[in-house]
Amino acid sequence: MNLKSIHNVYFVGIGGIGMSAIARYFVSTGKNVAGYDKTPSQVTSDLEGLGVDVHFEDNVKNIPISFLDTNKTLVVYTPAIPKNHLEYNYFVDSNFTVLKRSEILGKITENTVCLAVAGTHGKTTTSAILGHIMAEVGATSFLGGIAENYNSNLILGEDKVTVVEADEFDRSFLKLSPNIACVTSMDADHLDIYGSSEALQESFLEFTQKVSDTLIVAKGLPLKGLTYAINDSADYNAFNLKIKNGTYVFDVKTPTSEIKNIDFHLPGQHNIMNALAALAMADVYGVSLEQIKNRLETFKGVKRRFSYKIKTNDFVLIDDYAHHPTEIVAVEKAIREMYPNEKVMVVFQPHLFSRTRDFIDDFALALSKFDEVLLLPIYPAREMPITGVNSEWLLGKIDVEHKKITETNKILKDIKNSTSNIVAFLGAGDIGRLCEEVAYQLLKMDKNEI
Helices (H), 146-247: 191-194, 197-208
Q: Which residues contact 383 (CB under 8 A, 6 or more apart)?
A: 192, 352, 353, 354
According to the model, what pLDDT value does residue 313 have?
A: 85
Q: 3.30.499.10, 3.40.1190.10, 3.40.50.300, 2.40.50.100: which CATH number matches 110-298?
A: 3.40.1190.10
Q: In sequence order, what DSSP letters do the residues of 72-93 get, joined into one string?
A: TEEEEE-TTS-TT-HHHHHHHH
pTM across the whole model = 0.84
Q: How far does the chain reach from its first CA to its final CA, in angstroms?
A: 58
pLDDT of residue 5: 81
- CATH number of the 3-100 domain: 3.40.50.720
* Rounded distance between C-alpha atoms, residue 283 and residue 2, angstroms: 33
- What 3-state class would DSSP assign to 346? strand
pLDDT tens column, 70-86: 999 999 999 888 889 99
Residues 164, 176 contacting (CB under 8 angstroms): yes
- Centroid of chain to Cα 354: 19
Query: Which residues of the chain, if any, have pLDDT below 50?
Result: 450
Please, are residues 273 and 308 in contact by the beta-carbon 8 Å criterion?
A: no
CA distance 411 to 427: 15
CB 124 within 8 A of CB 302: yes
**Angle made by CA atoms 36, 383, 147, in degrees to the nearest 5:** 55
The domain segmentation of the chain, as residue ranges, is 3-100, 110-298, 307-449
Indicate the CATH number of 307-449 among 3.90.190.20, 3.10.20.90, 1.10.238.10, 1.10.3720.10. 3.90.190.20
Q: What is the pLDDT of residues 263-322, one digit of tens each?
A: 999 988 989 999 999 999 999 999 999 999 999 999 999 988 888 999 888 899 999 999
Phi, psi values for residue 101, rounded to 5°: -55, -45
